[in-house]
Structures are given as structure tokens and as C-alpha cells.
């Protein structure tokens, strides 16, 4: 069974500061891992994905994440926060075809960016 834990339901940073959002996963098979962003009253937008290729994954808007198998982690980072990054971020795991590629999400981390 697959599961995701996001540490910290709310992270607050200053504009220009480093963003670090934490995600740990559990999976019985090599996982696919994703980060999605959700703006208020909108659907989910894919930021980046890990699909067993490079362990350091670059996504849109300057975000990146590193897959660490030994730590079962997939933390999201951005070197310099921008006001427009304020949103809710969800980490998700999929066990691939054996589970019909369905996604299991964490509870989300709300990122606020202070001027």
C-alpha cells in the first residue's frame, strides 16, 4: 500500500528565502512521485515528477525535488521564494500500473510568502 506524509501543514518564508517542503512516502514497489500545486478554488497543477530516471528532478517555476530512496523522501525546494509561490502544495505517490496509476496524496502544505 502506498502512503505519503507531508511534514508541516503550514510553512512561512520571506520573499527571496529558501523554500523547503518535506515529503516522505511509503510504497511496496518502486514509486512514481509527484508534487502538485493548488491555488485557491482551482484544480491541481503538476510541478514536477520522479519516474525512476534522474534522482534530482527539475520542475516549473524554479522548483526542484530530490528522490532519496534510503530516506524514502522527496522534498521540494526552491532557492528563492516569490510572492506568487504562495499556494498549497501536495506530494503524491503512485505505484504504477499495478495500482491503475492512481495517486495517493499527502495532506498538503500551505506555503505563505511574506514581503
Partner 1 sequence: DTGVSQDPRHKITKRGQNVTFRCDPISEHNRLYWYRQTLGQGPEFLTYFQNEAQLEKSRLLSDRFSAERPKGSFSTLEIQRTEQGDSAMYLCASSHTGTSSYEQYFGPGTRLTVT
**Interface residues toward partner 1, by CB under 8 A:** 4, 9, 32, 36, 41-46, 49, 51, 90, 92, 94, 96-97, 100-108
Nearer to partner 1 by C-beta: 17 or 99?
A: 99
CB of 78 to partner 1, least distance (A): 20
Nearer to partner 1 by C-beta: 69 or 102?
A: 102
CB of 6 to partner 1, least distance (A): 8
CB of 95 to partner 1, least distance (A): 10
User: What one-character-per-residue DSSP string does 32-84 give?
Assistant: EEEEEEE-TT--EEEEEEE-SS-SEEE-GGG-EEEEEGGGTEEEEEESS--GG
Among all chains, which residue has been given the C-alpha cell 512521485? 33
Q: Which of 40, 48, 17, 21 is nearest to 107 (CA)?
A: 21
Q: Cα(92)–Cα(46) distance, rounded to whole angstroms?
A: 10
Nearer to partner 1 by C-beta: 19 or 106?
A: 106
Amino acid at each position: 500500500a502506498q502512503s505519503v506524509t507531508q511534514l508541516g501543514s503550514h510553512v512561512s518564508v520571506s520573499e527571496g528565502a529558501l523554500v523547503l517542503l518535506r515529503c516522505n512516502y511509503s510504497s511496496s514497489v518502486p514509486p512514481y512521485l509527484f508534487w502538485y500545486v493548488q491555488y485557491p478554488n482551482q484544480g491541481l497543477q503538476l510541478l514536477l515528477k520522479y519516474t525512476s530516471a534522474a534522482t534530482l528532478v527539475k520542475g516549473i517555476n524554479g522548483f526542484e525535488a530530490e528522490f532519496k530512496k534510503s530516506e524514502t523522501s522527496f522534498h521540494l525546494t526552491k532557492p528563492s521564494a516569490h510572492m506568487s509561490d504562495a499556494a498549497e502544495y501536495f506530494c503524491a505517490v503512485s505505484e504504477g500500473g499495478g495500482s491503475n496509476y492512481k495517486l495517493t496524496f499527502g495532506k498538503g502544505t500551505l506555503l505563505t510568502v511574506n514581503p
